[in-house]
């Protein structure tokens, strides 16, 4: 508490830093206010050992290809501090001949610099908005020795942001789930479940502003994650000491604090934690997974869903059943499902609890994070699981370091993407593609029919032109706040289902393999070890659970056809055939061409009917279950 009071007195902004590119020395700090090192001048290039990568993060790879760019990055805490340092950098370049005062070391045609803010609070978009204006003004001076504007920026930011609450829309400024769903469509649900499993996830795209925007928007779907869930997300050491520092391994990756189990291990062992006990202490100690009591809390998952489960055999249909026999190498390179076309659906009739109405936060007894009454945010980015919105090439060693159990990281350098063996999943943002090498993990993340209904429901509300409906607490239907509320409901329902006894049927709608893997993650074990009073008001079960209908069969078949290699070949063949028939019809004459065109239209109409899910009626698809406000 004393340290928090001390931080509050200092203000949320730690430093304003200018990073430039020197033709001989590379990226270097040219100015900092206050100085980064005690008893040093403002123009000193000395850096704390923990922040040695700061110049390479603030001035990203390939920056010379863009006139301007924006970077979000995380720095490890300095010794004595416990919380992540959030960085926002605005990069620009200017022609050297335009400078009023040209220094002797400026030998190139352009000058590249970044103005950076290091902050204690994760107000990425708000800091970016202020920083872009100042960066523009700083470059318009055409004299980089004029640093008074940077000192004024420091005083202004600390004055305006001091006492700012991490609640409300200002936390999510610039992060648009609506744009994310428009681009990734149903794959957003796959990304959500992928991070729940604490896998090694690498986002790849250029420029950096698109990269960090996509990555942080995905994290904003997790309730409370941006506000309170990233304080422990950057605990790493520079390369010189990261692998041989035993104290770091003990403090970050203690085996008694978390467990990391691969999906393949789970499948081979055939075990997954069972549901919750009827009663448990408020702060039940974490089990390492080797005790007798821990063994009694595991049960072998069934080879198929139970008869009572709403998850039927065709539900788990793998798209590979539609493919011919293929080499293992080709299977390993297969992609997760692509987006499916949506049809008009039933408007929402229930409203999930608004994010802003979930009460205050308290210090978690086990997680150490500030939690709400539901135990959220989940402690995903703790104990060596890193969140690095942008990763410089100099940090490449972190991908394989023994003290790092996983990460969600962003990169623009192609070397990161080429070394796929260092990541469980590579998210290529430009193509909206998720590359997963492990077939077992792909099956674990395959969407159930209830998940497909949920994804289809989101896509429809975002893409369709509908009358604006404003819902109290969740904003405009189909808007950013509304989308976050849907994922909050999804996660609340998943957690509530995990607490129920005899919950096999409830959890089957989320996917039996997925739930089995998730129950072995650090975030679930920590969350499960404590009581959360708000969960008593949450309805268990998938928000889109319900009986199957013809529309669901069509949705599943469409999903399988569109996301298998053979299905894609069939679609391409149909398109090619249709095009050739039109050309042939024009060549042989109007009468014959008319007949061929009619045949082509009939075939195209039939195939499009097969490939697209039918409109879901109110009788076939249930609305999501509502939450009861406590």
Peptide bond into 377 cis (omega under 30): yes
* Of 342, 377, 343, 401, residue with least CA distance to 76: 401
Q: What is the H or E stretch that residue 428 is in? A: strand 425-428
CATH 3.40.50.11500 intervals, the chain? 177-233+360-537
Max CA distance (Å), the chain? 90
> What's the rounded mean pLDDT across residues 548-565?
59
50 pLDDT higher than 80: yes
CATH 3.30.450 fits 1-164, yes or no: yes
More confident residue, 291 or 156: 156
**pLDDT tier for residue 243 given thresholds of 50, 70 and 90:** very low
CATH 3.30.450 intervals, the chain? 1-164
Instruction: Return the pLDDT at 260.
Output: 40
Burial 590-611 (b: 16+ CB within 10 A, else e): eeebeebbeebeeeeeebeeeb
Distance CA 378, CA 254 (A): 19
Distance CA 530, CA 364 (A): 9
Q: Over the stretch 296-308, which tens digit does the pLDDT of each residue have?
A: 333 333 333 333 3
604 pLDDT higher than 90: no
* Three-class secondary structure of residue 624 per DSSP: coil
Distance CA 597, CA 589 (A): 11
Instruction: Return the pLDDT at 65.
Output: 85
Mean pLDDT value across the chain: 76
What's the fold here for domain 177-233+360-537?
Answer: Rossmann fold (3.40.50)
Distance CA 111, CA 306 (A): 66
Instruction: Return the pLDDT at 82.
Output: 75
578 pLDDT higher than 70: no
**pLDDT tier for residue 330 given thresholds of 50, 70 and 90:** very low
* Three-class secondary structure of residue 204 per DSSP: strand
* Of 390, 383, 352, 361, residue with least CA distance to 227: 361
* Of 507, 411, 494, residue with least CA distance to 203: 411
pTM score, whole prediction: 0.73
Give the position of tokens 């009861």. 628
Distance (Å) of CA 617 to CA 340, 477, 552, 622: 18, 19, 11, 9
Highest mean pLDDT among 81-85, 240-244, 528-532: 528-532
Instruction: Return the pLDDT at 304.
Output: 37
346 pLDDT higher than 60: no
């Amino acid at each position: 508490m004393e340290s928090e009071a001390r931080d509050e007195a200092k203000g949320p902004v730690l430093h304003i830093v200018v990073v430039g590119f020197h033709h001989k020395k590379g990226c270097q700090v040219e100015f900092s206010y206050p100085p980064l090192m005690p008893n040093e001048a403002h123009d000193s290039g000395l850096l704390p050992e923990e922040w040695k990568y700061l110049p390479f993060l603030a001035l990203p790879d390939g920056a010379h290809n863009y006139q301007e760019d924006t970077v979000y990055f995380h720095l490890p805490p300095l010794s004595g501090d416990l919380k992540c340092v959030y960085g926002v950098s605005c990069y620009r370049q200017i022609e050297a001949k335009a400078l009023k005062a040209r220094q002797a070391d400026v030998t190139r045609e352009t000058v590249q610099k970044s103005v950076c803010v290091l902050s204690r609070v994760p107000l990425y978009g708000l800091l970016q908005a202020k920083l872009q204006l100042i960066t523009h003004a700083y470059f318009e001076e055409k004299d980089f020795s004029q640093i008074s504007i940077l000192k004024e920026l420091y005083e202004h930011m600390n004055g305006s942001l001091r006492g700012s609450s991490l609640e409300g829309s200002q936390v999510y400024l610039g992060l648009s789930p609506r744009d994310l769903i428009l681009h990734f469509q149903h794959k957003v649900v796959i990304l959500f479940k992928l991070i729940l499993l604490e896998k090694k996830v690498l986002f790849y795209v250029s420029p950096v502003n698109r990269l960090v925007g996509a990555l942080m928007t995905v994290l904003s779907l997790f309730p409370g994650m941006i506000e309170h869930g990233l304080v422990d997300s950057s605990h790493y050491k520079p390369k010189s000491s990261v692998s041989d520092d035993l104290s770091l391994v003990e403090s970050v990756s203690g085996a008694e604090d978390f467990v990391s189990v691969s999906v393949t291990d789970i499948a081979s062992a055939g075990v997954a934690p069972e549901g919750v006990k009827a009663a448990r202490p408020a702060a039940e100690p974490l089990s390492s997974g080797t005790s007798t009591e821990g063994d009694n809390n595991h049960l072998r998952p069934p080879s198929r869903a139970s008869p009572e489960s709403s998850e039927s055999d065709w539900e788990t249909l793998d798209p590979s059943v539609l493919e011919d026999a293929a080499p293992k190498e080709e299977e390993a390179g297969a992609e997760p499902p692509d987006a499916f076309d949506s049809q008009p659906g039933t408007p929402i009739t229930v409203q999930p609890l608004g994010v802003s109405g979930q009460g205050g936060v308290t210090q978690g007894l086990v997680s150490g994070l500030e939690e709400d009454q539901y135990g959220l945010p989940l402690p995903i980015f703790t104990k060596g699981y890193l969140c690095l919105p942008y990763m410089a090439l100099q940090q490449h060693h972190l991908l394989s370091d023994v003290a790092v159990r996983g990460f969600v990281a962003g990169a623009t350098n192609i070397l990161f993407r080429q070394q796929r063996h260092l990541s469980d999943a590579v998210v290529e943002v430009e193509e909206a593609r998720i590359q997963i090498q492990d077939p077992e993990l792909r099956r674990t993340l395959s969407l159930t029919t209830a998940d497909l209904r949920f994804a289809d429901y989101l896509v429809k509300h975002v893409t369709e032109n509908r009358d604006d409906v404003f819902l109290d607490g969740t904003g405009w239907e189909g808007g950013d706040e509304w989308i976050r509320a849907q994922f909050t409901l999804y996660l609340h329902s998943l957690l509530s289902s995990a607490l129920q006894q005899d919950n096999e049927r409830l959890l089957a709608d989320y996917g039996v393999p997925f739930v089995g893997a998730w129950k072995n993650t650090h975030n679930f074990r920590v969350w499960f070890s404590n009581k959360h009073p708000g969960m008593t008001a949450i309805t268990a079960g998938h928000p889109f659970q319900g009986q199957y209908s013809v529309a669901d069969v069509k949705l599943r078949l469409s999903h399988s056809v569109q996301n298998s290699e053979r299905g894609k070949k069939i679609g391409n063949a149909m398109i090619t055939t249709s095009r050739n028939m039109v050309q042939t019809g024009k060549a042989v004459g109007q009468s014959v061409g008319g007949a061929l065109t009619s045949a082509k239209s009939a075939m195209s109409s039939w195939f499009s009917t097969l490939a697209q899910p039918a409109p879901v009626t109110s009788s076939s698809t249930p609305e999501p279950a509502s939450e009861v406000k406590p």
